[in-house]
Structure 1
């Protein structure tokens, strides 16, 4: 069966984008039960992975593939939670979601790394993508990295 690409229009406001020191490549492939949290304005904790990540049909000019880590798959809400990590000082931007009868392939995309000196920041985009078809029983795979 040919692979189909899902394009979802998702507002980019409220994305969980974080900076930390280091410019490491950590594509990790493990599943963890819960994502990171941060303090809410009211003092409580909110889940930072509970934000949609923009999805696109394919890489735009100047975008490069980035490593990502699977956080969890939620069949009840039809969501795949991921952590997209910067590489060579690029900034995570979006995910391509390709679906087949047995797999869902995710390719994370980000900005082209700058030429010249790198500030050494590591950035992560933590959230979820929503495939067109139900995720239950499908294998989630890495696309280009």
Structure 2
């Protein structure tokens, strides 16, 4: 290595290999958690279109521009677009997924605290893109 250390080079190589194995294992675990949606997650259909978001809950309830969910539950978003590419984003929960015509992309999250959060489109989708916003309302469980 630098020649200024009294440690043999194989120790440095071993440390680098161990670090790479650890980083790889952590990345694999993170990917596994993201990809494995809890079995009891409620499905919410999310549709992007110029220039708003609409949401449909499993029970058929529909919302436009706002989404109401409860703490302590997992939600799986099935995201699609009716027209052009959009990107569904809830910044506070690190939720970001493309909405593409003809394709359903999925992402999930489980809110833990009551609050209000911005929903936005993170993909330039046309003239009024700046107005493609919504609000997520995280509420206490109703029952």
Quickly name the TM-score band, shorter chain normalised: under 0.3
Choose between structure 1 and 2 for higher RCO, CA contacts under 8 A separated by at least 6 residues: 1
Q: Given the two structures, how large is their TM-score scaled by the length of structure 2?
A: 0.26
Which of the two has higher C-alpha Rg?
2
Higher helix share: 2
Q: Given the two structures, how large is their TM-score scaled by the length of structure 1?
A: 0.26
